[in-house]
């Protein structure tokens, strides 16, 4: 009954559309962390993702498609799952908010909070944006329209009997939590923004809807549960709350909750308040990713400026997309992404730096030593450099800093390329300087073995291709503690030449 898993979550995505690279970005981010924790932790990571399927927005989309909401979602969800498969997302659990266990658990949470006086009756009157499923204070409206720049639709005046979650009651405890944990929301700018929102005061939140029929019903009433209340609870219902408390205690609290910065308010104010009301521990860390932008605007379906992952995969290998998305900007910052960026970084850092290195080293080993790993070498300073890099990668990924991890690995890639140039194995071969040639080839192969393990969380295919080419079995670097020690590549191991990992892309990709 004690926690024995690294539990990490993505937002659950609205089932009214299919993924673009913005959604892919946050899901790949979680995948990298999950893979990292599987090879460095106790092997146990629980990676949750899923779909947010209730609410007016989804009902409207279904109606437009001429389908019943559930039937509509069933079809869309298959598309999300296929997309995640094509991006090699290793989720452990996919929750749909229409899953029966989730619906029942949310009803139980709602009842419990109502019984204990955390959900109370009242009347709701206010401006409501149907598209964003959000109530907006009059002061925030822009000419009577939704203030969300991605939406801007007219808002409606809504007046109804309603249930309220007593969010305001938790303000002091939330402030205390923020003050005691200046690191629990990252980046720091997100922590600051939410802390100042809290200081400005909190209103109770309406958590029922009269007019919205596509939602979790409140039994014996004509109301449904507000979709954000329903959705936000997914992180604990997925873990088994409240029916399977054994499983729940093995998972909760979440170690990392990854979200987009536009939903910080729900995840760092509403969500912890609900958890406090349920007397449950809060997530250890909430990290907000920035937006992928195009010409300065957030990439989003409503703005119609999206790139689909499949479009990129027509031109580039999957791992290249995974690499460039995370090499491009520090996590948390907005960044623009374009075909030019992808092409430039692909050819420079992947085709040239890593791809060529692997081909060159293994081709030389094939030519000079029949592809058989030479006598073990101590590696000298290479050994120390790789130790240092592994530490840097771990520190970076523990801090959810993807770019820093990639930079540290690429320093070693650059280092090995330089080593080839300086050691000149072709010259050593020509001079029949066999001892030095063996040593050089060993160091290069062993360096590649480390690189395979270190890139694996980001680039599982590439890691596996290098690992297998080096005659190693299983997942690259499985249990870093055991495998990342210099000299584990056994002399005599038969290597093979992998197919080119990153063939140069010369043309401007037309698909994107
Ligand atoms: N359903 C809610 C979340 C509920 S969580 C309890 C939702 N869904 S969404 O489909 O709009 O997906 C939102 C998430 O997708 C964002 O929080 C973010 O992680 C990701 N992204 C969507 N567009 C993005 C970009 N342009 N750039 C980066 N991430 C983006 O909100």
In this predicted model, what pLDDT tens digit does every residue of 136-175 receive, in sequence order? Answer: 888 889 999 999 988 899 999 988 899 999 999 999 999 9
**The pLDDT of residue 3 is above 70:** yes
What is the best residue among 15, 17, 22 to mutate for testing ligand 1's pocket, by most ligand atoms within 8 Å of CB? 22
Q: Could you tell me what percent of the chain has a pLDDT over 70?
A: 99
Q: What pLDDT shows up at residue 508?
A: 61
471 within 8 A of 495, measured Cβ to Cβ = yes
Mean pLDDT computed over 238-261: 98
Are 97 and 84 in contact, with CB atoms under 8 Å apart? no
Which of 316, 313, 307 minimizes the C-alpha distance to 337?
307
Q: What is the pLDDT of residue 512?
A: 45
* Ligand 1 neighbour 54 (Cβ under 6 A): no
Please give the distance, rounded to the nearest whole angstrom, from the Cα atom of residue 17 to the centre of ligand 1. 11
Mean pLDDT over 384-388 rounds to: 97
Is any atom of ligand 1 closer than 6 Å to the C-beta of 299?
Answer: yes
Q: What is d(CA 8, CA 258) in angstroms, rounded to the nearest whole number?
A: 8
Instruction: Say if residue 449's pLDDT is above 80.
Output: yes
Helix (H, G, I), strand (E, B) or coil at 66: coil
Give the predicted TM-score (pTM) of the model. 0.94
Q: Tell me the CA–centroid distance for residue 281 and ligand 1, in Å.
A: 25
pLDDT at 149: 87
Say yes or no: CB of residue 50 within 6 Å of ligand 1. Answer: no
Are the C-beta atoms of 86 and 309 separated by less than 8 Å? yes
**What does the pLDDT average to over 44-51?**
96
- Substitution candidate for ligand 1 out of 263, 266, 301, 305 with most atoms within 8 A of CB: 263
As a whole number of angstroms, the distance between CA 331 and CA 322 comes to 14
For the segment 392-435, what is each residue's pLDDT rounded down to a tens digit?
Answer: 999 999 999 999 999 999 999 999 999 999 999 999 999 999 99
First to last CA, the chain: 49
- Average pLDDT in the 93-120 region? 98
Determine the pLDDT at residue 145. 95
- Rounded-to-integer distance, Cα 349 and Cα 324, Å: 9
Q: What is the mean pLDDT of residues 459-467?
A: 98
Per-residue pLDDT for 214 more than 70?
A: yes
Write the residue with the smallest CA distance to atom 20 of ligand 1: 23
Average pLDDT across the chain, whole number:
95
Q: Tell whether the model's pLDDT for residue 205 goes beyond 80.
A: yes
What is the per-residue pLDDT for 160?
A: 84
In angstroms, the CA 197 to CA 240 distance is 32
SS3 for 145? strand
Q: What confidence score (pLDDT) does residue 510 get?
A: 52
Flag whether pLDDT at 437 surpasses 90. Answer: yes
Q: Cα–chain-centroid distance for residue 187? A: 15
Note the pLDDT of residue 304: 82
Q: How far is ligand 1, taken at its centre, from the CA of residue 80, in Å? A: 13
Which residue, judged by its Cα, is nearest atom 12 of ligand 1? 13
| pLDDT score at 131 | 85
The response to whether residue 298 sits with its C-beta less than 6 Å from ligand 1 reads yes
């Amino acid at each position: 009954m004690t926690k024995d898993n690294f539990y990490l979550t993505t937002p659950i995505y609205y089932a009214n559309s299919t993924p673009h690279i913005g959604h892919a970005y946050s899901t790949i981010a979680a995948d990298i962390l999950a893979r990292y924790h599987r090879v460095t932790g106790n092997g146990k990571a629980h990676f949750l993702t899923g779909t947010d399927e209730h609410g007016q927005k989804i009902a409207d989309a279904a109606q437009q498609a001429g389908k019943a909401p559930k039937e509509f979602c069933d079809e869309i969800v298959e598309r999300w799952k296929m997309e995640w498969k094509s991006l090699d997302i290793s989720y452990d659990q996919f929750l749909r908010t229409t899953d029966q266990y989730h619906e029942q658990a949310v009803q139980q949470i709602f009842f419990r909070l109502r019984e204990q006086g955390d959900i109370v009756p009242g009347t709701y009157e206010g401006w409501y944006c149907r598209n964003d499923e959000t109530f907006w204070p009059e002061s925030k409206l822009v000419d009577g329209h939704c203030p969300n720049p991605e939406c801007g639709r007219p808002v409606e005046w809504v007046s109804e009997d309603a249930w309220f979650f007593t969010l305001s009651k938790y303000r002091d405890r939330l402030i205390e939590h923020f003050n005691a944990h200046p690191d629990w929301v990252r980046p720091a700018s997100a922590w600051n923004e939410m802390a100042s929102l809290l200081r400005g005061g909190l209103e109770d939140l309406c958590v029922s809807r009269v007019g919205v029929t596509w939602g979790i019903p409140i039994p014996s009433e004509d109301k449904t549960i507000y979709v954000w209340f329903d959705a936000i609870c997914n992180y604990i219902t997925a873990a088994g709350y409240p029916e399977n408390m054994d499983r729940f205690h093995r998972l909760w609290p979440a170690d990392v909750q990854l979200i987009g910065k536009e939903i910080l308010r729900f995840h760092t104010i509403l969500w912890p308040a609900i958890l406090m009301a349920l007397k449950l521990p809060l997530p250890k860390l909430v990290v907000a990713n920035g937006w992928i932008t195009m010409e300065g605007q957030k990439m989003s379906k409503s703005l119609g400026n999206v790139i689909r992952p499949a479009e990129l995969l027509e031109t580039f290998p999957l791992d290249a997309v995974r690499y460039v998305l995370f090499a491009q900007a520090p996590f948390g910052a907005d960044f623009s992404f374009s075909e030019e960026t992808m092409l430039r970084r692909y050819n420079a850092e992947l085709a040239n730096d890593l791809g060529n290195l692997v081909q060159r080293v293994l081709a030389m080993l094939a030519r000079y030593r029949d592809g058989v790993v030479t006598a073990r070498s101590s590696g000298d300073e290479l050994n120390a450099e790789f130790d240092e890099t592994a530490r840097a990668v771990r520190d970076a990924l523990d801090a959810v800093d993807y770019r820093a991890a990639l930079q540290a690995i690429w320093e070693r890639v650059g280092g090995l390329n330089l080593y080839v140039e300086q050691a000149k194995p072709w010259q050593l071969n020509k001079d029949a300087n066999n001892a030095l040639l063996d040593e050089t080839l060993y160091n290069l192969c062993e360096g590649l073995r480390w690189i395979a393990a270190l890139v694996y969380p980001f680039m599982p295919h590439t890691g596996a291709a290098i690992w297998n080419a080096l005659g190693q079995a299983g997942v690259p670097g499985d249990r870093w503690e055991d495998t990342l020690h210099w000299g584990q590549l056994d002399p005599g191991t038969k290597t093979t030449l992998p197919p080119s990992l990153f063939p140069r892309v010369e043309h401007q990709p037309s698909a994107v």
